A and B are shown apart, each in its own frame.
Chain A
Amino acid sequence: MNSALKKRIGNVLSWVMTFLLMLVICVPGLWVVLTAFRPNSEVLAKPAVWIPQNFNLNNFAKIFGFGAEQVAIPVPAYFTNSLIIALTSTAIALLIGMSGGYAFARYRFRFKNGLFLGLMLSRTVPGIALSLPVFMIWSRIGLIDAKLGLIIVYVALNVPFTVWLIDGFFRQIPKEMSEAAQVDGCTRWEAFWKIEFPLAKSGIASAGIFAFLTSWNEYALASQLTRSTDSKTLPVGLMDFTAQFTIDWAGMSAMAVIIIIPALVLTFLVQKHLIAGLTFGGVKG
């Protein structure tokens, strides 16, 4: 009975702890979401208004330039830029990563470990440190304020991690499978697409998510390399907004919600792959 009681207490305790943890994880985000639908007068009120009285879409209408007030933050343009840049750079990074990951998983060659380490280390260069020289070079070759300029940078940013994850996945697939296919008359190329690619799909999907999130959320480089609506992304747009209206918290929150929604949707769509991808790709590799 003593031990049964202990177990019960333990269970209750772990539930309470979990609940508190979830609270800490969720409340900050939820508060921002809530704020996005409230008027500033209520957000800034003293003493605080805890139970929202006014719920409306005015902040969003304002940002998108409907409604009476003129707040021309070109969110639609930023949104499109973000989407184009994040998707394109993810696709390219995946192609390059698959090719590189396959090489690491399937071949023995000189400098293999050195190359792998070099690849990883290239990712550790802090974005802000990289932004200084990239800014200077890009400005000389006309890649400043161009989507292409940002896409190239994001591809490079994502390649190392993509290679790492995908390498791990290819390693799990027994070599014999593709060899058997080649005996049956497939070329190595065909064997790759028919046998290995489908098996490594979840690894590729999770690498893709990571690449997308990195590109979608990146700020340090984007803030320097973009200049106008031609290329500015949503995180830069949010910072612009805060620099224009230093105290419009409701508007900023609405902008924040606009940034988070696509990331949330996409991540939940493939979240099953995400955990598998992280663990197997990383460990077994």
Chain B
Amino acid sequence: MIRKVLKNLTIATALPLLFVGGVVAEDIDYGKFDDYTLRVKLIGGAQYEPLYAEIEKWEAMTGAKVDVLSRKNHFELDREIKQDIAAGTLDWCVGSNHTSFAPQYGSIYIDLNGVIPEATLAEFQELALKNSTVDGRLVQLPRHSDISNLYYKKSLYADQANKDNFKAKHGYDLTPPETWAQFKDQAIFFADAPTFYGTQYVGKDEAITGRFYELLVAEGGQLFDENWNPTFNSEAGVRAVQWFKDLYDAKAVPAGVLNYLWDDTGLGFASGTVALNLDWAGWASFFNDPENSKVAGDIGLVRAPVGSGGKRSGWSGSHTFSITETCDNKEAAASFISFLTSHERQMVEATKGLLPTRAKVWDDAKAEFAGAGNDFMVNVFETYAVSMTEDAFTPPLITPWIEVSNELWPRLQAAILGEMTPQEALDEAAAETKIIMEDAGYN
């Protein structure tokens, strides 16, 4: 209470100071919010940090201060936001969001249509905006998109001994995997635990749910039928689970993989002890930076493999920013998220490899890489551009997505570890999912 009064007072008294302070040159006017403190909750992790280093510039331009209340991985952030809803502590303004997570938050975030100028919105990719819309409301502004393609250690594929041995063993030439079956063959072939692994996968939370989901689709399955009955306990589903399990049993992945999240797989590949890594573009420049990565200069990239259903996996979504309904200064919040998704900021993220949501940034970033002679990054952008247009699909954008995921992933783990058969695990998850979907009013 007192703080609020104080805040208003300081805003009032700060008016005369409006035009003091160094202003960074920028085309867009982000407004003036002197001495206002914007409270935000952001997604954290190695790939997200470079953008946050830019926040200082917004502070300098607008005179506001940004107070980052939390900076956690998205699964932890999701837990925290749900508790905020329950406790009524939505006393912050901007939160990181994701197209897969957004539907469950109901109406805590404002509709950005009309808040963000239409001309600005027109610069974003249509699909990204469409996926950011829930019940006709644009509840989030897309920051960058994610989809995974397959990185591999090039030298392994150039090695003649590897080629010969592989051909002798599997009867086909050793080239980067085109199908999920080849992916498995090769991962097992390259593995030499505990010093070298064929691949790694994220093993918990919605991360493994998503991987399972895209493999399910590639294998020709679906999560739900048209009446929202769970159908993932199909043969395609079992094949998908079996893929994870086979790699685990063959020790082609580290034993601790079930505790891994995105940073673990990314840094694992950078450590040079992993042959294949299905990952998003955000790591690309990191992987190719000799200072951080032992595989720099030795990386190949192909599109995500095709499943037995004839479809490529392409689990996709966008990381976004949202503004709370309870925000005490929506104008400042809107200025802040416009800043973070502006052309300049997206260029900052794009140079790291993160996939922009503004159409123009795709071209500009690629041109910049080409100009710098960075063929690797040009290749990255071209490969991901293809997969974004041809392979991308989002998980069902439904309210209980995370709840469904929470039923799925522990059972996926159980199946991988052999506690139950894949069929049992999926049947059990499907039964629980049915209850959740009924409770949520979907059928």
Contacts and interface: CB of A to CB of B under 8 A. Distances in A.
Interface of A: 44, 46, 70-72, 135-136, 138-140, 144-145, 224, 227-229, 240, 243-247
Contacts of A145: 87, 89
A127 to B, nearest CB: 16
A135 B87 contact: yes
A194 to B, nearest CB: 42
A246 B271 contact: no
A144 B89 contact: yes
Contact of A72 (B68, B86, B263): B68
Given A70-B53, A229-B69, 12 more contacts: A44-B271, A46-B271, A70-B52, A72-B68, A144-B89, A227-B87, A228-B67, A240-B76, A244-B44, A244-B45, A246-B263, A247-B267
Contact of A244 (B72, B195, B273): B72
Interface in B320-361: none
Contacts of A72: 52, 68, 71
Interface in B72-89: 72-73, 76, 80, 83-84, 86-89
A220 to B, nearest CB: 14
A227 B267 contact: no
B46 interface: yes
B70 interface: yes
Given A46-B271, A70-B49, A70-B53, A244 B71 contact: yes
Interface in B130-150: none
A253 B92 CA distance: 30
B86 A139 contact: yes
B263 A227 contact: no
B39 A228 contact: yes
A245 B46 contact: yes
A227 B89 contact: yes
Given A243-B76, A244-B72, A139 B67 contact: no
Contacts of A224: 83
A140 B89 CA distance: 10
Given A229-B69, A240-B72, A245 B45 contact: yes
Given A46-B195, A245-B263, A240 B71 contact: yes
29 contacts: A44-B267, A46-B273, A71-B49, A72-B52, A72-B68, A135-B83, A138-B87, A139-B86, A139-B87, A139-B88, A144-B87, A144-B88, A144-B89, A145-B87, A227-B69, A227-B84, A227-B87, A228-B69, A240-B76, A243-B44, A243-B72, A245-B45, A245-B46, A245-B263, A246-B45, A246-B73, A246-B261, A246-B263, A247-B264
Contacts of A247: 263-264, 267
Contacts of A135: 83, 86-87
Contacts of A139: 86-89
Contacts of B44: 243-245
Contacts of A240: 70-72, 76
B328 to A, nearest CB: 15
A246 B264 contact: yes
A224 B80 CA distance: 9
Contacts, number: 66
Contacts of B88: 139-140, 144
A240 B267 CA distance: 19
Q: Which 5 A-B pairs have the closest CB atoms?
A: A139-B87, A244-B44, A243-B72, A243-B76, A228-B69
Interface in B227-270: 261-264, 267
A145 B70 CA distance: 13
Nearest to B73: A243
A263 B263 CA distance: 32
Interface centre among A140, A244, A247 (most CB of B within 10 A): A244
Given A135-B83, A135-B87, A227-B89, A244 B73 contact: yes
A71 B45 CA distance: 10
Interface in B414-443: none
A139 B89 CA distance: 8
Contacts of B80: 227
A259 B44 CA distance: 22
Contacts of B86: 135-136, 139
Nearest to B68: A72
A144 B84 CA distance: 10
A81 to B, nearest CB: 13
A72 B48 CA distance: 13
Nearest to A225: B87
A27 B416 CA distance: 34
Contacts of B262: 246
Nearest to A143: B87
A282 to B, nearest CB: 38
Contacts of A227: 69, 80, 84, 87, 89
A73 to B, nearest CB: 8
B39 to A, nearest CB: 7
B265 to A, nearest CB: 10
A136 B88 CA distance: 10
A70 B53 CA distance: 7
Nearest to A40: B267
Interface string B32-57: 00000001000011100100110000
A145 B49 CA distance: 26
A136 B87 CA distance: 7
A160 to B, nearest CB: 27
A244 B39 CA distance: 18
Interface string B187-210: 000000001000000000000000
A245 B67 CA distance: 19
Nearest to B259: A246
A250 B45 CA distance: 15
A138 B84 CA distance: 12
B246 to A, nearest CB: 25
